[in-house]
Structure 1
Amino acid sequence: MNVLIVDDSPLMRAMLASALTPTGAAVTAPATLDDARTLLGMPGGVTDVDVLLLDLVMPDTDGLTFLRELRAHPHLEDLSVIMVTAMQEEDRLDEAFAAGANDYVTKPVRPGALCARASSAARLTRALRSRREREAELKMLNDRLADLNAQLETLSLTDGLTGISNRRAFDQGYERALALHTRTGLPVTLLLLDIDHFKRYNDTLGHPAGDACLQQVARVVRSQVNRAADVVARYGGEEFAVLLLDTHLQGGRCVADRILAALRDAAIPHPAHPLGQVTVSIGVAGHGLSGMVSLKDAADEALYRAKAAGRARAVVWGETDAAPAT
C-alpha cells in the first residue's frame, strides 16, 4: 500500500513511517503541504496514494482545512484518511468525520493499531476505486448499448434502398399525426405518390436501373419537403408517401406541385414513358374529411384518379381532376 503522511513535525513523520515498517508500505512524508498537494494530484489529476495520515492540528493550514480542500476534488473522494490526534483533541473528531475522515489514531501512536488501521483503510480505498472503475466501465457500456439501440431503431425505421423512412416509420408517424389532430385540431395532409409506368422502366432497363430510379425519385421528393417534423417514406414498391403536419390541403397541393416540377427538372430518362422521362402521379387528401373515408383511402382514391386522368399530375380528393403541373 502507498501511505502519505502529512504532519508539521519531522519527528512525528519519522515515528509514523517507522511504525508502518511491518506492513511493507511505501511511505512518503513530504515536508510541506504544497508537496503533499502535488503527490495527491491537487488541484486536479490522479494519485496512487491509498492512505493519508493527516495531523489534526497544524500551525498554518490545520488538518481539517486541508481535509475539506482535498475532499473537494472528485479523484480524492475514495481516498481513506486517518486523522492523527492528541488525546486532548478528540473533541474535534466529530468535525473531522463530518469533513470526510474515515478513521483516527491518537498520539502516542501504537504501531500495531496503526498498521491494522492503515491496512484496513488501504483495502477500503482500493475497493472503492475498483467499484468506481467498474461503474465507469458499466456506464460506458450502457452508453454504447444505448447508441447501438438508437442506431438499430433508426435502421428499423429506414428504407434500406432509398435511405428515407420506411412503411413502419410512416405508420408510426401517421398514427401520431392523427392523434395530434384529435387532441389539437391541427390539420394533417397526406400525399401518396406512384412512379408512372415503373414496370415498363424495369422491363426496359432492368431492376438495378429501377433501384437507381427509386433512389433518385426519393431524393427529389425529400428535397421538396423542408420541415423535419414531416414524414417522407417509401410506402411500398414504387409508391411513396408524404405526411405533412399542421398543413391544410392547399399547402399539400403546393408541395405536390413542387415535387412534379422538381421531377420534370431532374429529367430522369424513361425510354418506355410517353414523355421520355420519369414522372409521378400524386393523390392529396386532408384530415377532417366528411363521411367514413379515412385519410389513407382518400389519398389513395385521389392517386387513382390522377392516374386515370393521364398520370404526371396531382389530384386533390374532393376536387375536380387537375391538369399536370406546368
Structure 2
Amino acid sequence: MSAEPLHVLIVDDSALMRAMLRQALRDLGARVEAPATLDGAREALGLRGGHTHVDVLLLDLVMPGTDGLTFLRELRAHAHLQDLSVVMVTALQEDDRLDEAFAAGANDYVTKPVRPTVLCARTLHAARLTRALRARREREAQLELMTASLRSLNEQLTELSVTDGLTGIANRRAFDAHLDRALSLHARSGLNVTLIMLDIDHFKRYNDTLGHPAGDACLQEVAALLRECTPRRTDLTARYGGEEFALLLLDTDLTGGLTVARRVLSALAERRLPHPGHPLGYVTVSLGVACTELTGEVPLREAADQALYRAKHAGRHGAFAWTHPLDMPGAPDRRPPTPAESVVD
C-alpha cells in the first residue's frame, strides 16, 4: 500500500450508522468522509469535476429516494470511477438484493450490525484493489503515451529517410519507390506516367564562382520552384542527386509533361536566379521528358535520361527534349552527340 492514508467515503441515510462506521474504521487511520446528503457524496466522488481521491466507498444498499443500487449505477457510468472499490452495507434480510448489487458493479459487502474487524479487513482489501487498478491504468496510460511518442518518432524517421536533407523534397530513395509504384499502376491500368529529368546548367561553375554554401542555397531555391510547378498531390518532386532533379507525374501524357516542363522554364526565366558563371547570367536547366505512352521497350527512367542527355547537347540554357520527335514540331536537334560534345559539367 502507498504511504498515503486511505480515503474512505460513507454514503448512508442514517446519521447513527455513519457515526458507527466512522468509529469502526478508526484503527485504519483512514481519512473518512460521511456527507449527510447524496450531493455531498457526488462532490466527493468528482461526479461534477471528473476526479476523486476516494479509495473505498461504503454504500448503504437501501436508502429512501435514491437507493444504493441506483447511486451505484450512476457512479459506474463515470470512467474515472470504474476502478473505485464499492463495499455494500446491508441488513441480513437484504441479502437477496446482493446479486443486483454485484451486477451493478459492487466489489464486496458487509452486513449490519457491522463487526469492526471485518469492516476494517474488507475496507483495507478493497482499498488495495482500487489502488492496484489505478496504478495499472496509469501504467497503461504511460505506455500509450510512450507508444504514441515512439510512433511519432518512427514517422519522423521514416519521413527523414525519404526526404532530402538539404532541399526538403523527396530524395532518391523516395523517388525510386514512387517510380516503381507508378510503373506497376501503369502496367495494371494503362494509366500514363510522365517523367521529367532536369539538370541545373553549369552548376560546377556556380560552386566554383560563389562557393558551396551559395550552391546549396541555389539548390534549395530551385527545389522550391519545382515544387510550385508541380502542385498536384499525385506529383512527386525529388532530388535525384547532386544538381539533378526528377518530376514524376501520374496520369499525365506527353503533352501534359511538356506543359510542366515549359512551366518550369518560364518560372526560372521569370525568377532569374543570379549565376555569375553562366553565359546568360542567371540559372537555367536542361530537361528530358519521357512518357510511358511513347517509350515502347525502353524503360521510362532510361528514356528520360536519354532525352536529358540530348537536351544538354542541344545547347542547354533551357533546352529540353522528349521521347517522340514527330509529334512535337520545333523539337531541338536530338541527333546522337559526337564524343567531343559529350563532356558536360
- Unmatched runs of 5 consecutive residues or more in structure 1: none
Q: Which residue of 2 aligns with 1:257?
A: 262
What's the offset of the Cα at 1:274? 2.1
Q: Is 235-244 or 22-31 further displaced after alignment?
A: 22-31
Task: Kindly indicate whether the alpha-carbon contact (under 8 Å) linking 2:72 and 2:106 is maintained by their aligned counterparts in 1.
Answer: yes
Do 1:20 and 1:111's aligned partners in 2 also have CA atoms closer than 8 Å?
yes
Percent sequence identity over aligned pairs? 68
| Residue number among 107, 121, 125 corresponding to 1:120 in the alignment | 125
Answer whether contact 2:294 2:323 (CA < 8 A) is retained.
no
Does residue 177 in structure 1 map to residue 177 in structure 2? no
Is 1:166 aligned with 2:171? yes
Q: Which one of 275, 294, 313 corresponds to residue 319 of structure 2?
A: 313
State how far apart, in whole Å, the 2-side matches of 1:172 and 1:306 are. Answer: 26
SS of the residue corresponding to residue 35 of structure 1 reads helix
- From 59, 64, 69, the equivalent of 1:59 is 64
Alpha-carbon distance, 1:154 to partner: 1.1
Please point out which of 116, 131, 139 is paired with 1:134. 139
String of CA shifts for 1:151-206, please: whole Å, max 9, x gaps: 11111111111111110111111111112222322211111000111112222222
User: Cα deviation per residue 1:40-86 (whole Å; 9 max; x = unaligned)?
Assistant: 11133211100000011110100011001001111111100001111
Structure 2 length-normalised TM? 0.91
AA in 1 matched with 2:75: L
2:337 aligns with none
Q: For the Cα contact (< 8 Å) 1:71–1:77, is it kept in 2?
A: yes
8 Å contact kept, 1:263–1:279: yes
Task: Tell me whether 202-211 or 279-288 shows the greater mean CA deviation.
Answer: 202-211
CA distance in 1, matches of 2:213, 2:7: 69
Give me the TM-score of the superposition, normalised by structure 1.
0.96
More displaced stretch, 117-126 vs 9-18: 9-18
Partner of 2:250: 245
Which residues in structure 2 correspond to 1:1-326 (within 5 Å)?
Answer: 1-311=6-316, 312-319=318-325, 322-323=331-332
Q: Which secondary structure does the structure 2 equivalent of 1:109 belong to?
A: coil
Figure out how many residues of one structure are paired with residues of the other and give that number: 324
Q: Distance in 1 between matches of 2:240 and 2:96?
A: 78
Contact 2:295 2:323 in 1 (8 A): no
Measure, in 2, the Cα distance between the counterparts of 1:182 and 1:114: 76
Q: Is the 8 A contact 1:161 1:211 kept in 2?
A: yes
Q: Deviations over 1:73-119 (max 9, x none)?
A: 11111100001111111111111111111011111112111111000
Q: Is the 8 A contact 2:253 2:293 kept in 1?
A: no
In 2, the alpha carbon distance for the partners of 1:153 and 1:194 equals 27
Amino acid at match of 2:331: A
User: Matches of 1:118 and 1:184 in 2, distance apart?
Assistant: 70
- Please give the alpha-carbon distance, in whole angstroms, between the structure 2 residues aligned to 1:77 and 1:43: 15
The separation in 1 between residues aligned to 2:197 and 2:295, in whole angstroms, is 19
**SS of structure 1 residue aligned to 2:48:** coil
Query: What is the alpha-carbon distance in structure 2 between the residues aligned to residue 83 and residue 93 of structure 1?
Result: 8
- Greater shift, 175-184 or 98-107, is seen at 175-184
Alpha-carbon distance in 2 for matches of 1:303, 1:49: 75
Contact 1:193 1:280 in 2 (8 A): yes
Unaligned runs of 5+ in 2: 1-5, 334-345
For the residues of structure 1 that align with 2:177 and 2:38, how far apart are their CA atoms?
63
Equivalent-residue separation in structure 1 for 2:113 and 2:188 (angstroms): 77
Query: CA separation in 1, counterparts of 2:271 and 2:253?
Result: 27
User: 1:219: Cα distance to partner?
Assistant: 1.2
Sort the Cα spacing of 1:290 and 1:257 in 2 relative to 1 into closer, same or farther, 3 A.
closer
* Aligned AA (1:59): P
- The 1-side partners of 2:295 and 2:171 are apart by 29
CA distance in 1, matches of 2:101, 2:217: 74
Residue 59 of structure 2 aligns to a residue whose secondary structure is strand
305-314 or 113-122, larger mean C-alpha shift? 305-314
Contact 1:43 1:73 in 2 (8 A): no
Change in Cα spacing, 1:45 to 1:85, as seen in structure 2 (3 Å) is same
Once residues 11 and 206 of structure 1 are traced to their aligned partners in structure 2, the CA distance between those partners, rounded to angstroms, is 91
Which amino acid is 2:261 matched to?
Answer: A
Once superposed, which parts of structure 1, at least 4 consecutive aligned residues long, lie more than 6 Å away? none
